Amino acid sequence: MRTDLQIFSFLETADWVVFGLVLLVTLASVVYGNLRRHRLPESGEEADLLDLLIMGRRLTLPLFTATLVATWYGGIFSVTEFTFDVGLYNWLTQGVFWYAAYLIFAFALVGRIRGSEAKTMPELLGTMFGPRSARLGAWLNLFNVLPITYVLMMGIFMQLLFGGNILIWMALGMAGVTAYSTIGGLRSVVYSDLIQFVVMCLSVALVIGFSMQTFGGLGWLRANPNIPEGHWKPMGAGIAWSTTLVWGFLALGTLVDPNFYQRCLAAKDVKTARRGILFATGVWVCFDFCTTFGALYALATLPEAVSREAYLIYSVQLLPAGVRGFFLAGILATILSTLDSYLFLSGTIAAYDLAPKKWKGNVAFHHLGTVAMAVVAVAGASWFHLADLNLVDVWKIFGGYATACIFLPLMAGYIWPGKISDRGFVNACEYGILLMTLHYLLRILLPGVEGLQTLEPFYSGLAGTLLGFWAPAAKPGPPPPEA
């Protein structure tokens, strides 16, 4: 197999036809979703806002499961890149840890979240702690959901598919996503996610099926000399336990992830949200199996390939015409289903949670906020591309801040309702931000200090939140909503 493949030169007419049909069906699903909105009996400013942000709290079980799965798994290039580099350790850090977090969320938090009248996670923080907590939480959430890594992945994909300049593809692709994400709000995102969910799951399954048929199963992989023995160790080979533990904490970031909160707030009831998370977890287990072993097949056959691109290049050469086009549509669906959700949510935070009070209910202002976040995301992705940063590292930085700084104070608010004040929550988060940022700066300024390089800044953020609890705090805030 070739490692220098330009994908567009490998495609046949059947591939382009199938690829185009999938995009048309996705667009049709957006139109269909908005036609259903126009048939709803409720109208008026408040009803329009509720439908825009959380689909009027009408999210059914199939739609909930599909949109959660599709939204949560946009980092396919980073996951397959990680598997290519470290093997089954990827499944531990990107799979097992997260499954545990999903179950905790389903059984410990869903009732409290869905019992709230809040429309967003920052608004929920406001009811639990106070207005300053809501605003700081909104800023941290915005930092977490800006879709910078997904814009970069989309650019990589489009460049591999069509050639040309990656920066131009990032801008053009983001313009298209912004257009359909602003048409009908969360409703557009959810209905497009339904199609993308089906396509992305079938695509990765097809790669495994054709790989086993062409080369053989697990025995063939285990005997392949291109896969290092350390790749078969679930705990990794020579990886520090502190690094592994960071991934465990990052998985717990699910408990403070605004996308999970948004879907739960949009679900029609608690039962729908809880069952939807459990069904989604089962799908993620299967999906992770396919992407992990698909990346190992890529390593076995293309050991000299660039790790970020290996899975895609391998799959394109493996699959027959037509199926290849469907697979490429599935890869694009995997990226877009997360990109549109993150873009819409970042626009919501900017135009609803952080906006002046007079603009909060303005749908047009929400669209403007979404466009602004699209511009910021493209600019950030361009900078990270030019700096040649690893996708997994970018992911860790952005997810790390929100998790390290919000996780402990929010969990304390759930466990001891009314005991954490508005000022107490803000102090904890601010101390976490300060120490984590300081750690990153010292890493740059003092590259020769081994301890700074080996200890993850995430731990400094957690330590900062603990210190923040000891700072002076105002009187206790209101308890969180009951289940």
Backbone angles phi, psi at 470, to 5 degrees: -85, -10
What's the confidence (pLDDT) of residue 101? 92
- Alpha-carbon distances, residue 438 vs 195, 389, 425, 435, 444 (angstroms): 43, 20, 20, 5, 10
Domain count, the chain: 1
Asked whether residue 342 is assigned to any structural domain, the reply reads yes
With 0-12 / 13-18 / 19 or more C-beta atoms within 10 angstroms meaning exposed / middle / buried, residue 184 is buried
What's the confidence (pLDDT) of residue 278? 96
Contact predicate 424/409, CB 8 Å = yes
Contact predicate 413/128, CB 8 Å = yes
Question: For residue range 38-94, what is the model confidence (pLDDT) as tens digits?
Answer: 666 666 666 778 888 888 888 999 999 999 998 887 667 778 888 888 889 988 888
Quote the domain boundaries for residue 211: 7-390
For residue 480, pLDDT over 90 is answered with no
Check which CATH number belongs to the domain holding 93 and give it. 1.20.1730.10
Mean per-residue pLDDT for 201-208?
A: 94
Asked whether residue 368 is assigned to any structural domain, the reply reads yes
Asked whether residue 407 is assigned to any structural domain, the reply reads no
What's the confidence (pLDDT) of residue 237? 74
Confidence of residue 475 (pLDDT cuts 50, 70, 90): very low
For residue 474, pLDDT over 50 is answered with no
At 305, list the tokens: 């390939």
Confidence of residue 455 (pLDDT cuts 50, 70, 90): confident
Q: Report d(CA 95, CA 325) in Å as an integer.
A: 28
Q: How many helices (H) and strands (E) does the chain have?
A: 23, 0
For residue 367, pLDDT over 80 is answered with yes
Confidence of residue 252 (pLDDT cuts 50, 70, 90): confident
For residue 384, pLDDT over 70 is answered with yes
**Looking at 121-130, 276-285, 391-400, which range is the least confident one?**
391-400
For residue 481, pLDDT over 90 is answered with no
pTM for the predicted model, two decimal places: 0.84
What's the confidence (pLDDT) of residue 39? 64
**Looking at 247-251, 289-293, 301-305, 451-455, which range is the least confident one?**
451-455
Q: Report d(CA 95, CA 92) in Å as an integer.
A: 5
For residue 181, pLDDT over 50 is answered with yes
What's the confidence (pLDDT) of residue 221? 92
What's the confidence (pLDDT) of residue 318? 93
If one compares 400 and 417, the residue with the highest pLDDT of the two is: 417
At 26, list the tokens: 């996705």
If one compares 280 and 307, the residue with the highest pLDDT of the two is: 280
**H helices within 302-390, ranges in order?**
307-318, 323-348, 363-387
**Looking at 17-21, 75-79, 180-184, 282-286, which range is the least confident one?**
75-79
What residues have CB less than 8 Å from 354, skipping those under 6 apart? Answer: 135, 138, 139, 142
What's the confidence (pLDDT) of residue 335? 86
Asked whether residue 399 is assigned to any structural domain, the reply reads no
Asked whether residue 427 is assigned to any structural domain, the reply reads no
For residue 31, pLDDT over 60 is answered with yes
Asked whether residue 16 is assigned to any structural domain, the reply reads yes
**H helices within 76-130, ranges in order?**
76-86, 89-91, 97-104, 110-114, 121-128
Mean per-residue pLDDT for 269-290?
A: 94
Asked whether residue 474 is assigned to any structural domain, the reply reads no
Asked whether residue 425 is assigned to any structural domain, the reply reads no
**Looking at 42-56, 289-303, 336-350, which range is the least confident one?**
42-56
Task: Output the DSSP codes for 130-191.
Answer: -HHHHHHHHHHHHHHH--HHHHHHHHHHHHHHH-S-HHHHHHHHHHHHHHHHHHHTHHHHHH
Contact predicate 57/265, CB 8 Å = yes
Query: Which one-letter DSSP state was computed for residue 59?
Result: B
